[in-house]
Structure 1
């Protein structure tokens, strides 16, 4: 039997490789956990991600700050049901949101 047969028995590719989710980190955070979450997702040190945001901020005149705030709004925190933006939209629509 080949590798494909083994993967079929354990439930598919996501079970074999593990499922990664892009979420803000609750442990490796300095501000909102965006860089920690991106670092965990990409498998790199979050300090490299922080450095990238700093470089983008310097060379794109605040572009890194914009991207960081956008990521904070979109990325849900570990253990949370949804993102901050999702919570804001639900409140605006008058729906109950368990944030």
Structure 2
């Protein structure tokens, strides 16, 4: 079976053009016209300070944070600082122990 390179190039170019124009149209619609912006509320009075509500046209997402939650990045940073802390901190801690 022989493939005609002219037809194949035309079909590939058409598929590529449709995909690119679809993507550009989506970017224009979503970001330039500003449709479907996210509305953020902090509902402090009703639910407490650890509740955030994100609302779009079709969805409503409620995120509840634990009151005493420490992020993993902060825990790792504190562990690193306690283990490999800089010289002035470790010297001050040693002087306090004495």
Classify the TM-score, shorter chain.
under 0.3
TM-score by length of 2: 0.28
Larger radius of gyration: 2
Structure having greater relative contact order (Cα 8 Å, sep ≥ 6): 1
